[in-house]
Amino acid sequence: MDQFKGQPRLPKFAVPKRYDVRLQPDLVACCFSGSVAIDLDIVAPTSYIVLNAAELSVSDDAASFTNRDSSKVFKPSRVELFEQDEILVLEFPDALPIGLGVLTIQFDGILNDRMKGFYRSTYEHNGEKKNMAVTQFEPADARKCFPCWDEPACKATFKITLDVPSELTALSNMPVIEEKINGNIKTVSYQESPTMSTYLVAVVVGLFDFVEDHTSDGVKVRVYCQVGKANQGKFALYVAVKTLELFKHYFETPYSLPKLDMIAIPDFAAGAMENYGLVTYRETALLYDEQHSAAANKQRVAIVVAHELAHQWFGNLVTMEWWTHLWLNEGFATWVSYLATDSLFPDWKIWSQFLHETTEGLKLDGLAESHPIEVEINHAHEIDEIFDAISYRKGASVIRMLQSYLGAECFQRSLASYIKRHACSNAKTEDLWAALEEGSGEPVNKLMDSWTKQKGYPVVSVRVNNHKLEFEQSQFLSSGAHGEGHWIVPITLCLGSYDVCKNFLLQEKTETRDVNELFGSQIPQEIGPRSWIKLNVDQTGFYRVKYDEGLAARLRYAVEKQLLSATDRFGVLDDLYALCMARKETLTSLLALMGAYREELDYIVLSNLITISHKVERIVADAIPELLDYIKQFFINLFQFSAEKLGWDPRPGESHLDAMLRGEVLTALAVFGHDLTLDEASRRFQAFLEDRSTQLLPPDIRKATYVAVMQRTSKSNRFGYESLLKVYRESDLSQEKTRILSSLASSHDPDLILEALNFMLSSEVRSQDAVFGLAVSVEGREVTWSWFKENWEHLLKTYGSGFLITRFVSAAVSPFASFEKAKEVEEFFATRTHPSVARTLKQSLERVHINASWVQNVRNEQHLAQAVKELAFGKY
């Protein structure tokens, strides 16, 4: 049997065709029993059957194999479950005949509390605490519910039967075909599913309300939620029905099941999960309350619903062959969720907000410890860690870059052809490239290999030399180190106007282009001192740009005069910030550019300006503490204009983006210590405590107000902290609870921060939500690290088998900025290594080193102190 241990994939001598699964969950004892009959095709001589199973008990006499032709029953002589490899090995005394047969297994398991496999989630009904049973199988946890070939390429059909308490709702992927009640237990049988992967099988059992609608071609769509919350499902229902219609046309293939259920689960580790026909969500990603949800919550629901429904085609109908190609699922669903949301809500300008996705991808991929989009996976334990910004955000960004290069129509036609060609089967990255190459006539495979098979991305340096533009590409690393990567880069550029645009492929390390030849008759008569040149127009490319001094000065002027689009104003700032962190540009030059945004009002630009401001504040605090008050004053000056324009109260008919921006700007002013903002927040919070329905604290400014209140709260002045806990305890809206959790640790008092962190691990906070409380102030870094070390064993036990553990590691380690601290972290983990955090730990330590080098650089920067003081006094 040992020959099967330590293998990344299951042996191929048996192929599953159909599963008949019966489960009986006990919601009081928190366990389940079950049986599975698997139609198998034995395709090679073997006396073994090897499949996946984990955390299940299977007795020696609980398995048998019956040959279809002879009806002969084969009993295994040995049944062994290897927990470390998560495999169940059945050894038979004789070789099994080639051909079809049925493998039957009885088993028992635990309804765990770790939000994976077959697990329990808790909820309250009429004041009584109850359990529901839920499945979460992606990436590799169907094996914790029933023995199976738990690999995406092992597609089969599934017939599910559930024995459950008769008063409960029981849902699975397909519609119910029969219910039989026998006393207080009912047996629910479902239609057989189409061919699908094990990770998409789903079961939910509990008490629920629902709202319902239909698509134009008769697909029944329901949103299920806790009893009493049905109204909060209406917005997601609207989005789902419209999105199914949209994708049917975009992919030129109808939705393939007769129904679609979406359900809000109180305890849920990810944002959502695209189970075929039964999509599960965190409450915050599905429910929207007109009275108490913010504009940002509404947008999140729309994007997450669109993302999961995109998977019904891209992932469920056509599935990646192995986890190496996860990005095909996640990158694509991320990209197309913006396409759908833009179609439904054009006034949200969602494509400009896509830059948030790109920036997160660039941040992670700027690390030496990043990984290629296509990453080798050799063990199930490694899969969780690649559900990251590379698979989702870089994946989505390179798809957007390719769509921009090939053109929207050609791209859509090729995708539809890819979906039709690989429906009900599996695909690799190369299959998508082949379809796009066929549809466009472009060398897509050659172009895209440099983006998916190697990690990182380029920075393209551009300088003017007489009438020539000189381009040079090199790998960008946030550490400032030299990288070896080389890419085929789709360059787009504008000269002085969006009417004068060109594009070409930068294939060599350095290339020179004559301006006259490049732009020809489009070129202005005279390239004056104010004629700006902008590369990567509207930021559709996944690369950074470094301009020579003259070009940078012209772009600063173009930003100040609002001559650039919002996406390009975003790009100019984000690139310079990244170059500054990598010590390729000075902090003085970054601050000078930031000053050009003082009259900025666009949501995406200001949102990024705020993020960058917080990071710069932290670096200055570590490098030159005596400049901290000046830098804060500069940032307060920077956001005053937008704060005054937006005010505290929503204006009739204002845009969705202004509603989101108001909260972000006020939060920034609060964190930078703007007294007038802190005073006003305090006044409004007091009114809210006296009357929860006051108009003075609409949902869009609650987070800002909570953060502001915590700025003046300390161990000796606890009123704000205690008041927020009271609001937390009284609210049953998940979005309100997470707003409060993400504000509690923003105090400046380490003792109170420690109290807030301990609260995150209390029974009052669902384990999925504890990570929200890790948003601590600079003063909280040391106490967070100490708390993390003290609670490491508990964190590992609670989160160690899922991706949430990586959030704790990153939040506790990444904010530091000294080489000594990096060494201390390394020493702590030297004896505490765990496979699920290995990659995240390396990335977090690299970030500490990057911060430390940046701090040293800032300390040595000449003229910085003078520049900061002048900016603080309004001299731009």
CB burial of residue 512 (10 Å; 0-12, 13-18, 19+): exposed
CA 372/CA 390 separation, integer angstroms: 8
Edge-first strand order for the sheet with 458-465 is: 510-514, 468-475, 458-465, 544-547
* Tokens linked to 352: 């400009």
Q: Number of helices and strands (H, E) in the chain?
A: 27, 30
Three-class SS string for 242-255? HHHHHHHHHCCCCC
Edge-first strand order for the sheet with 78-82 is: 46-52, 87-96, 78-82
CB burial of residue 830 (10 Å; 0-12, 13-18, 19+): exposed
Indicate the helix (H) or strand (E) that contains 502: strand 501-506
* Tokens linked to 202: 């789903």
**Do residues 515 and 468 touch, judged by C-beta distance below 8 A?**
yes
Of 151, 274, 283, 308, which is the active-site residue? Answer: 308
Q: Which amino acid is at 766?
A: R
CA 492/CA 277 separation, integer angstroms: 41
**Do residues 808 and 799 touch, judged by C-beta distance below 8 A?**
yes
3-state class (DSSP) for residue 591:
helix
CA 80/CA 93 separation, integer angstroms: 14
**Do residues 530 and 568 touch, judged by C-beta distance below 8 A?**
no
CA 264/CA 231 separation, integer angstroms: 13
CA 460/CA 481 separation, integer angstroms: 15
CA 759/CA 791 separation, integer angstroms: 13
CA 793/CA 832 separation, integer angstroms: 9
CA 116/CA 287 separation, integer angstroms: 22
Measured between alpha carbons, how far is residue 668 from residues 631, 703, 797, 805 in Å?
13, 11, 36, 28
Strand partners, 206: 169
Q: How does strand 458-465 pair with strand 544-547?
A: parallel
Nearest alpha-carbon partner for 107 in 172, 21, 187, 29: 21
What is the per-residue burial (b if ≥16 Cβ within 10 Å, else e) of 771-789? bbbbebbeebbebbbebbe
Indicate the helix (H) or strand (E) that contains 98: none
Report how far apart the first and last C-alpha atoms of the chain are (Å, whole number): 73
Largest Cα separation within the chain, whole Å, is: 91
340: number of CA atoms within 13 Å, CB side?
33
**Do residues 87 and 10 touch, judged by C-beta distance below 8 A?**
yes
CB burial of residue 231 (10 Å; 0-12, 13-18, 19+): middle
Distance of CA 731 to the CA centre of its chain: 26
Quick count: other Cβ atoms within 10 Å of Cβ 453?
12
What is the phi/psi pair of residue 659, to 5°? -60, -40
* Tokens linked to 749: 């008092």
**CA dihedral angle for residue 381, residue 382, residue 388, residue 392, rounded to 10 degrees:** -100
Angle between helices 628-646 and 603-623 (to 10 degrees): 160
* Tokens linked to 370: 């990043």
Q: How does strand 259-265 pair with strand 220-225?
A: parallel
- 138 given a catalytic annotation: no
Among all residues, which ones are annotated catalytic?
308
